Amino acid sequence: MAAYEEEVFPVGDGMCHEGGVAPVKARTIHELHSLQKKKKSAPTTPTSASAGPFLPTISEDELHWLQLQSISTSLASLTGELGPKLVKGDPARKVESAAPQQQYHQYMSPTAIPTDTSLKLTHVLHNLSPAELYEQAIKYEKGSFVTSSGALATLSGAKTGRSPKDKRVVNDEATTQELWWGKYVSSRGSPNIEMDEHTFTLNRERAVDYLNSLDKVFVNDQFLNWDPEHRIKVRIISARAYHSLFMHNMCIRPTPEELANFGEPDFTIYNAGQFPCNRYTHYMTSSTSIDLNLARREMVILGTQYAGEMKKGLFGVMHYLMPKKGILSLHSGCNMGKDGDVALFFGLSGTGKTTLSTDQNRYLIGDDEHCWSDNGISNIEGGCYAKCIDLAKEKEPDIWNAIKFGTVLENVVFDEHTREVDFSDRSVTENTRAAYPIEYIPNAKIPCVATHPKNIILLACDAFGVLPPVSKLNLAQTMYHFICGYTALVAGTEDGIKEPQATFSACFGAAFIMLHPTRYAALLAEKMSKHGATGWLVNTGWSGGSYGVGSRIKLNYTRKIIDAIHSGSLLNAEYKKTEVFGLEIPTQVDGVPSEILNPINTWEDKEAYKQTLLKLAGLFKNNFEVFADFKIGEDGSLTEQILAAGPTF
């Protein structure tokens, strides 16, 4: 009581103090604000072994100067004009003090002629932290909100998925020989449609001009591939905080020391997604263009703001660079058991790579993109990209809990007042996504590397409902199904689609591969036999009938099947061979009703089952015809076996 009275009625200096606490140590509001911020540190991906203290060898001013010089060079036109005049920091923060020469950097070419662009200042927001990017997004980007769990909800605009038909690759002296070229996009064909160097330059100029016309650009300098021996330095220049935060989460984040020593990037993305390409430009068939120039090591994005375009664009680059070194790049998830057994999860979009590699009983190495080298497996990325349509806390607790501060939530719908997300709402798109740093999964293994895999799990979401929930594959069958890359989903949003749509996508990722599929297949066969890995085919799709009659296999059953693969118990189970596809199916799996293991048991109409099975077998046969002429590996001896591993009917 006495103490309380003393606070309210202070005695001593005779002045009236409010609350009696020590007064703030500032005399002006400006001074007060300057007290609020401490010296900044760069956000990083944690490394298990501490990198040691950051000991800069040059001053911070010099470092910023060098970084701006490098970025100005990236943004300079190829015509030899002046590069943009760059300054670090938010344009909303005034740069009044110090002489302008010390403030900005500009790329100078000897013959440079000033242009209006080269006279203005562009602010560079270089490797901002998630908090800074949140502020940028919320202040300046319509459709950006903090959700009740702290994630940043954003809209990707008109495009809510990738645009494979708008991808172009420069056909030059080197690539004309090396790449797997296609003329048009089909689900089974090559994704690489050519463009020439000149047209690339036109689109590059368009993107660079757009970016240089802005008051500010975001620049991310980051890494790909957790194997230090094969790491790639990437720079992403973009116009939206959403894009910068997405890549911050998805690529590997440098330590302050690594950022100081970053130097020049190995690959640069110019993301001018808000600005369309010019439809009158040669090779353009829409207002969207995603252009890859492997010689220049550059990618240009025009006319789409979907962030997955950057993620998968870089994946394509890895699919080119890695096989050149004998390293296999894989569209797969990866996790590791407590005893060190490693599993890969292959599968097309929506088949369960992220869901099944995120397992509370195992260490997560990565959910989507890996390399298999002589050193073992390494994740390419620093984050995960989970589908979140119908996400439920009980079924996928780790993914649910990862949707917190720092996570980008794309195209979800939320309560306007509470900001609670309704994961079942498909109003914007079916393809709602969460992008979060990998360390948001509690049992992620950092660094994200592992030994050679013991199990290779091929995931197919078979909406025809005729593939068994699990089958054991021999090497030839594994190769056959890897080359086929089958899945069949039902487009949930489109009216009237009752029939499942079969998709065959070579190597479970034809949209991203750069070389002929047999090149990757040969590497997989070589590595699987060398390291003695076992292949499995897991159907995460329909049971008890096709889509419309049956239902999707319970996630809980699929998890039990995966558990039995990991533990080794399924390897020693009793097997029966199926007709047509010749798949070895177990008679029993712990925690799974035995009758569902052979799909015919779950179909009421056995005749319909047989017809559907033959129909799917026919689709497999047609698809494989284009690969029948190719030899796999040096002597091609595996080719005959692979051809024989398909369905017979």
Ligand X SMILES: O=C([O-])CC(=O)C(=O)O
One residue of 210, 218, 226, 385 binding ligand X per CB under 6 A = 385
162 contacts which partner out of ligand X, Mn ion, ligand ATP, none, CB within 5 to 8 A by kind? ligand X
Within 293-352, which residues bind ligand X (CB under 6 A)? Answer: 308, 311-312, 349
User: Does 162 interact with ligand X (rule: CB under 6 A)?
Assistant: yes
One residue of 166, 309, 367, 368 binding Mn ion per CB under 5 A = 368
d(CA 288, CA 300): 11
One residue of 155, 252, 365, 386 binding ligand ATP per CB under 6 A = 386
Query: Is 288 part of the annotated catalytic residue set?
Result: no
Largest CA distance in the chain: 101
Binding span for Mn ion by CB under 5 A among 158-166, 321-329, 368-376, 621-629:
368-376
308 contacts which partner out of Mn ion, ligand X, ligand ATP, none, CB within 5 to 8 A by kind? ligand X
d(CA 187, CA 184): 10
Hey, what are 609's tokens? 């089952």
Sorted by sequence, the CB contacts under 8 Å of residue 246 that are 6+ apart come out as 307, 310, 311, 408, 435
Binding span for ligand ATP by CB under 6 A among 54-62, 175-183, 250-258, 344-352:
344-352
Binding span for ligand ATP by CB under 6 A among 156-164, 345-353, 438-446, 476-484:
345-353
Helix (H) or strand (E) holding 485: none
d(CA 129, CA 151): 14
User: Does 221 interact with Mn ion (rule: CB under 5 A)?
Assistant: no
User: Does 303 interact with ligand ATP (rule: CB under 6 A)?
Assistant: no
Length of the chain (residues):
649
Report angle CA 321, 325, 328 to the nearest 5 degrees: 75
Hey, what are 445's tokens? 């293994």
Neighbouring C-alpha atoms within 13 Å toward the C-beta of 337: 16
**Of 89, 86, 297, 287, residue with least CA distance to 206:** 287
User: Does 354 interact with ligand ATP (rule: CB under 6 A)?
Assistant: yes
Query: Is 516 part of the annotated catalytic residue set?
Result: no
171 and 199 Cβ atoms separated by less than 8 Å: no
Say whether the peptide bond before residue 256 is cis (omega within 30 degrees of 0): no
d(CA 68, CA 86): 7
Nearer CB in complex with ligand X: 161/256: 161
DSSP state letter for 154? E
User: Does 354 interact with Ca ion (rule: CB under 5 A)?
Assistant: yes
We find the least distance from the C-beta atom of residue 435 to ligand ATP, in angstroms, to be 10
One residue of 296, 552, 560, 610 binding ligand ATP per CB under 6 A = 552
354 contacts which partner out of Mn ion, ligand ATP, ligand X, none, CB within 5 to 8 A by kind? ligand ATP
d(CA 388, CA 391): 5
**Of 608, 345, 347, residue with least CA distance to 462:** 347
We find the least distance from the C-beta atom of residue 447 to Mn ion, in angstroms, to be 21
d(CA 431, CA 411): 8
User: Does 190 interact with ligand ATP (rule: CB under 6 A)?
Assistant: no
Amino acid at 439: E
**Of 563, 557, 569, residue with least CA distance to 593:** 557
- How many residues interact with ligand X (rule CB under 6 A)? 8
* Cβ neighbour number for residue 563 with a 10 Å cutoff: 19
Active-site residue, selected from the candidate residues 85, 240, 248, 331: 331
531 and 641 Cβ atoms separated by less than 8 Å: no
We find the least distance from the C-beta atom of residue 69 to ligand ATP, in angstroms, to be 38
We find the least distance from the C-beta atom of residue 502 to ligand ATP, in angstroms, to be 17
We find the least distance from the C-beta atom of residue 307 to ligand X, in angstroms, to be 8
We find the least distance from the C-beta atom of residue 333 to ligand X, in angstroms, to be 10
Q: N- to C-terminal Cα distance for the chain?
A: 93
Nearer CB in complex with ligand X: 337/352: 352
Query: Is 433 part of the annotated catalytic residue set?
Result: yes
DSSP state letter for 170? E
Query: Is 162 part of the annotated catalytic residue set?
Result: yes
User: Does 368 interact with ligand X (rule: CB under 6 A)?
Assistant: yes
43 contacts which partner out of ligand ATP, Mn ion, Ca ion, none, CB within 5 to 8 A by kind? none
We find the least distance from the C-beta atom of residue 189 to ligand X, in angstroms, to be 17
Query: Is 57 part of the annotated catalytic residue set?
Result: no
User: Does 227 interact with ligand X (rule: CB under 6 A)?
Assistant: no
Where does 299-340 have alpha helices with state H?
A: 308-321
Query: Is 39 part of the annotated catalytic residue set?
Result: no
Query: Is 606 part of the annotated catalytic residue set?
Result: no
Active-site residue, selected from the candidate residues 204, 370, 433, 454: 433
Sorted by sequence, the CB contacts under 8 Å of residue 413 that are 6+ apart come out as 421, 422, 425, 427, 428
Nearer CB in complex with ligand ATP: 156/255: 156
We find the least distance from the C-beta atom of residue 67 to ligand ATP, in angstroms, to be 33
Is the alpha carbon torsion for 440, 441, 444, 448 positive or negative? negative
Query: Is 165 part of the annotated catalytic residue set?
Result: no
CA 127 to chain centre: 18
**Residues in touch with ligand X (CB under 6 A):** 161-162, 308, 311-312, 349, 368, 385
**Residues in touch with Ca ion (CB under 5 A):** 354, 368
**Residues in touch with ligand ATP (CB under 6 A):** 347, 349-356, 367-368, 385-387, 389, 540, 552-553, 555, 558
Please list the active-site residues: 162, 312, 331, 349, 353-354, 368, 433
**Residues in touch with Mn ion (CB under 5 A):** 368
